[in-house]
Structure 1
Amino acid sequence: MSDEDITLTAGDAEATVQPGNGGRIGGLRIAGVELLRQGGKFGCFPMVPWCGRTRDGRFLNGATPHQLPLNSPPHAIHGTARDAAWRTARTSGDEAVITYDLADPWPYTGRVTQAVTLTEDSLTLTMSVETYGDSFPAQIGWHPWFNRNLGGDGAQDVRLDFTAAWQEERGADHLPTGRRIDPQPGPWDDCFGMPGGVDVTLTWPGQLELNVTGREEWVVVYDEQEAAVCVEPQTGPPNGLNTLPRLVTPIEPLEAATTWTWRRL
């Protein structure tokens, strides 16, 4: 099927899925109000087959070393799928399933499947990675750019609320040092640990409350840009291909999901 944009609707919610632009969610509108930063590189893109930065673009699969392109020198960042065209597997009024076949520069073959499901008060993103051959380490995550301000008379900037068990200490190279520290005040470009599952609330006062949840226990929070804030659920910390690899095997794919639930204020 094609890689043309797909519009999902449920009640007064509308989501745009863009298979041809990295499999990203290009927009999420509630009663006509856009929650995601607009632009070809924004929206909400999938991070796969790795999340955040991989140190020097290098990782091992067992004893086999691999070198990835340094698209954020000196590191490789956010996977390859966001730069590729996905294909539509099936779609209905409120759900779309899209796929991407892993290819160079990723050294292993496999398929990524992402399902996007919209209801009147939630958006659920589910992703899986399967291999066509050898086992390999991988990560799954999502990188939404939520608008800091939704606009309108007297609109206030978004407020973030979450309770983390720890923060991954960040080194000068923006990678975790391996130490876990008590959560620090923002601004953040940091990874937090939530053993009970990701749970972060974004509140636009007087307008909307949105809760980002997921079963995984890592989330990166990035709020250093003026236009948007990012809450990124993922299956491991940055550089996790090296420090906390999750293996995709012929009998066990890697799977993850996140749900955003909202209510009007």
Structure 2
Amino acid sequence: MSKQTRLTAGDAELTINPDNGCRIESLRIGSTELLREGERYGCFPMVPWCGRIANGRFQNGATGHQLPLNSPPHAIHGTGRDTAWRTVRADAREAAFTYDLAPPWPYTGRVTQTFALTEDSLTLQLGVEAASDSFPAQAGWHPWFRRNLGDGGKDVHLHFTADWQEERGADHLPTGRRIGPTPGPWDDCFGMPDGVDVTLTWPEQLELKVTSRAPWVVIYDEQEEAVCVEPQSGPPNGLNTAPRYVTPIDPLEISATFAWRRL
């Protein structure tokens, strides 16, 4: 049976399952659950890449690699969500976990994820370190926020201002062309060079802001039960189109904060 880690601060409670990809299984404010619950939902880390890699292939210099096509014809969302992580430390309000990169990812290194809970916010951090050879990598989070919090409330409203939207091709990958933001529904990547800033409002119930210094966010709201606001270090297929190299002396680091208030 999986060993869960629970953090509490005031009436906020966070449940993490390190054995199931170090995913957040539950984020409760009082009696209200904010996340869609379930084995593949909650909020999971996307690492060492985010979104889709075209045909599961990427280059590291002259060396090509093939990853399993877990979302045919592409590879999606990294390997961290399918891995058991090791608990490094956990107390009432903070916890840290790691796992070592391993096949099918072709390079060695270590990933660290930390959680810090307060009465009105949750701060997440991811770090990717290279053990020896350098490699391109990405990191981010995929939260499934409930579209409706129940108790007779209204569905969530999303508010954000993006500098651009990555045009999405029929293969669900960015075409390389930047366009003006379009109306939803979305399964799209947006550029926010000053940092991700997206507000989710459940009218007369709760407001939650997702912020990050990262310049990319994917918005996915095509499912009836949930909406996803995914801060990430690069765009989908970015291992190929916008590689950020991790070296033994230059790890990849990203953080994001979920901050809430009752309405």
TM-score by length of 1: 0.98
Residues in 2 aligned to 1:32 and 1:98: alpha-carbon distance in whole angstroms: 27
Partner of 2:258: 260
* Residue pairs, 1:1-265, within 5 angstroms: 4-152=3-151, 154-265=152-263
Letter in 2 for 1:250: P
Question: What is the count of residue pairs matched by the alignment?
Answer: 263
Displacement of 1:3: 6.6
The 8 Å contact of residues 3 and 88 in structure 1, kept in 2 or not, is answered as: no
Q: Helix, strand or coil for the counterpart of 2:14? A: strand
Q: Helix, strand or coil for the counterpart of 2:6? A: strand
Displacement of 1:255: 0.2
CA offsets 1:141-160 (integer angstroms, 9 cap, x no match): 100000000000x3100000
TM-score by length of 2: 0.99
The 8 Å contact of residues 162 and 199 in structure 1, kept in 2 or not, is answered as: yes
Residues in 1 aligned to 2:184 and 2:193: alpha-carbon distance in whole angstroms: 21
Q: Helix, strand or coil for the counterpart of 2:133? A: coil
Superposition RMSD on alpha carbons, in Å? Answer: 0.9
Residues in 2 aligned to 1:245 and 1:128: alpha-carbon distance in whole angstroms: 16
The 8 Å contact of residues 3 and 87 in structure 1, kept in 2 or not, is answered as: no
Residues in 2 aligned to 1:208 and 1:101: alpha-carbon distance in whole angstroms: 37
Q: Helix, strand or coil for the counterpart of 2:239? A: helix
Q: Which runs of 4+ in 1 moved over 3 A?
A: none
Residues in 2 aligned to 1:42 and 1:87: alpha-carbon distance in whole angstroms: 20
Letter in 2 for 1:105: P
CA offsets 1:169-201 (integer angstroms, 9 cap, x no match): 000000000000000000000000001100000
Residues in 1 aligned to 2:72 and 2:6: alpha-carbon distance in whole angstroms: 36
Displacement of 1:13: 0.2
CA offsets 1:122-142 (integer angstroms, 9 cap, x no match): 000000000111000000010
Displacement of 1:207: 0.4
Residues in 2 aligned to 1:51 and 1:224: alpha-carbon distance in whole angstroms: 18
> Which runs of 5 or more residues in structure 1 are unaligned?
none
CA offsets 1:207-256 (integer angstroms, 9 cap, x no match): 00000000011000000000000000000000000000111101000000
Residues in 1 aligned to 2:238 and 2:13: alpha-carbon distance in whole angstroms: 34
CA offsets 1:70-90 (integer angstroms, 9 cap, x no match): 000000000001011011000
Residues in 2 aligned to 1:178 and 1:120: alpha-carbon distance in whole angstroms: 41
CA offsets 1:51-101 (integer angstroms, 9 cap, x no match): 000000000001100000000000000000101101100011000100111
